[in-house]
Amino acid sequence: MRLSRYYLPVLKETPADAQIASHRLMLRAGMIRQEGAGIYAWLPLGFRVLKKIEQIVREEQDRAGAVEMLMPTIQSADLWRESGRYDAYGKEMLRITDRADREMLYGPTNEEMITEIFRAGVRSYKDLPKMLYHIQWKFRDEIRPRFGVMRGREFLMKDTYSFDIDEARARASYNKMFVAYLRTFARMGLKSIPMRADTGPIGGDLSHEFIVLAETGESEVFCDRRLVDMDTPKKDIDFDDDLQPVIDQFTSHYAATDEMHDAAAFEKDVPEDNRVSARGIEVGHIFFFGEKYSNPMKAVVAGPEGGEIPVQMGSYGVGVSRLLGAIIEAHHDDDGCKWPVSVAPYHVGLVNLRAGDEACDAACEKLYAELTGEGVEVLYDDTSARPGEKFARMDLIGLPYQIVVGPRGLESSEAEIKTRADGAKENVPVDQVGTKVAAAVRAALQYA
RNA sequence: CGGGGCGUAGCGCAGUCUGGUAGCGCAUCUGGUUUGGGACCAGAGGGUCGCAAGUUCGAAUCUUGCCGCCCCGACCA
């Protein structure tokens, strides 16, 4: 993509409203634009990242055996009356009426709808288990939206729902999601730590929040360093195997958010050197809730001995739009974003330091064609802006690799490759730049 | 929802207390000089002062109502 054709409204000055790094950088880098309290338009650059995150989430869900579908954003109030949540949900739910005065709502979540869909098509225990998911926009009329996309009112969420015949098998579904989440976040360059969450009236031990550690995280978290250092399950893991040993490993050490924190247990169970007290961002939440919806909504199947058995359900959410904020919180510096290659809006920023100069133009065009031909995503700065402005803009939008082509380097037939993550710069013969960068991008996109 | 604050050019702000015909920096446009980390000189364009009603000879400024946004708290993916 040529920058001269792109829409990238970067801001030199920091917007007054933005409090935290990710919000500030997303506004400054022209990724989002606020259209209302907690409501954002996704500008081209931000939209590309959103799509990449979504795709990683999708790939890992598919790998775990979940099946994608899509449910509407607008739901009927009657559906929610079946579960009793229409009155229970409160003002957080955006309620609307259509022209016939029917009561509708903009979905804050989809348990009721998926239960209705499931019960319409499944009759027998032989049809189980099932895991269905969708990636859809939700709306929760938060009292106080803040931190940009980290806590918007409208947000993109992946939610999976599992249906099993009994609790033991529901646990197997839960475990699949647990592993899928570890992998999903790792692929985005995030270290996520599962932390026991409040299971409320359901009870049991089957609820975990996945927390990403980041200095500017919204909540305080406590855990054992051994969890931070633990290796993410590899991509050859078989989701049909018994995953319990993996779950046991990741739940074997202390980890709690501030609301579940037990200072005494923390000090007793965790050696002093291993105590991590940090800030975190919740990026995922998995939850087993048994018959909470299947019972009132009559989602039942015929069991092996006849008779109707309510299905055991769980739900598993990932805050897709929120992840942009989380990734920036974890990967940025004072100059801007530092995108991991897997979610970067473009892999490479090609900077023509003197657009209009014959040699610079020719070298850039050649590199652009070569890299694009290799499948590398290139944002080519072909504008007539001054060098300083171009450098600052590239650092701000944070593409993983920058290729700088200027008259000075071309005198010795060289261009500069800069790695945004560590700031390393290297002068490389122009005719080798394409191969070298393409190889680096390919290598970074490999994941275990 | 309680408490606090803001709304003036694309962005950041001054002007409001004490009413007199709207300003600064950045950005934008034109010309010129420049060009490897956010240039310089000269010139130009751009504002129903959030909306509405009121007071007044006269309102960005005073009064009332409404709308929008932000911050702190309780709540949340």
More confident residue, A180 or A256: A180
User: What average pLDDT does range A192-205 have in this prediction?
Assistant: 80
> What pLDDT is stored for residue A202 in this prediction?
67
- pLDDT digit string, tens, across residues A233-260: 999 999 999 999 999 999 999 998 888 8
Q: What is the 3-state secondary structure (H, E, C) of A257-312?
A: EHHHCCHHHHHHHCCHHHEEEEEEEEEEEEEEEECCCCCCCCCEEECCCCCEEECE
All structural domains of chain A with their residue ranges = 21-71+110-336, 346-445
| 267-286 of chain A touching strand B, CB 7 A cut-off | 282-285
| 157-176 of chain A touching strand B, CB 7 A cut-off | 157
| 42-101 of chain A touching strand B, CB 7 A cut-off | 92
A21-71+110-336 against A346-445: fold identical: no
> What pLDDT is stored for residue A262 in this prediction?
87
Per-residue tokens: A439 = 């190889």
Q: How far apart are the C-alpha atoms of A310 and A291, rounded to whole Å?
A: 6
Q: How confident is the model at residue A394 (pLDDT cuts 50, 70, 90)?
A: very high
Architecture of domain A346-445: 3-Layer(aba) Sandwich (3.40)
Helices and strands, counts by H and E, chain A: 14, 23
> What pLDDT is stored for residue A41 in this prediction?
93
Q: How far apart are the C-alpha atoms of A339 and A446, rounded to whole Å?
A: 16
Closest CA to A17 of A145, A155, A154, A139: A145
pLDDT at residue A218 tops 80: no
Nearest-CA residue relative to C1' of B11: A13
> What pLDDT is stored for residue A187 in this prediction?
96
pLDDT at residue A203 tops 70: no
| 326-365 of chain A touching strand B, CB 7 A cut-off | 335, 353-354
The dihedrals phi and psi of A397, each to the nearest 5 degrees, come to: -80, -15
Q: How confident is the model at residue A57 (pLDDT cuts 50, 70, 90)?
A: very high
Lowest mean pLDDT among A32-36, A110-114, A342-346, A401-405: A32-36
- pLDDT digit string, tens, across residues A275-305: 998 889 999 999 999 999 999 999 999 999 9
pLDDT at residue A306 tops 80: yes
Give the pairing type, strands A348-352 and A401-405: parallel
> What pLDDT is stored for residue A198 in this prediction?
79
Distance between the alpha carbon (CA) of A150 and the C1' atom of B52, Å? 36
Cis peptide before A245 (omega within 30 of 0): no
The answer to whether A13 CB is within 7 Å of strand B is yes
Cβ neighbours of residue A442 closer than 8 Å, sequence gap 6 or more: none
> What pLDDT is stored for residue A216 in this prediction?
73
> What pLDDT is stored for residue A14 in this prediction?
83
Cβ neighbours of residue A428 closer than 8 Å, sequence gap 6 or more: A414, A415, A416, A417, A436
pLDDT at residue A87 tops 90: no
The dihedrals phi and psi of A50, each to the nearest 5 degrees, come to: -55, -45
- Residue-averaged pLDDT of chain A: 93
pLDDT at residue A93 tops 80: yes
Distance between the alpha carbon (CA) of A356 and the C1' atom of B12, Å? 33
More confident residue, A202 or A260: A260
User: What average pLDDT does range A395-417 have in this prediction?
Assistant: 97
Q: What is the CATH number of domain A21-71+110-336?
A: 3.30.930.10
- Which nt is closest to the CA of A142, judged by C1'? B76
**% of chain A surpassing 90 pLDDT:** 82
Q: Which residues pair with A105 in a beta bridge?
A: A75, A95
Cβ neighbours of residue A287 closer than 8 Å, sequence gap 6 or more: A197, A199, A206, A207, A314, A315, A316
Per-residue tokens: A47 = 């939209």
pLDDT at residue A261 tops 90: no
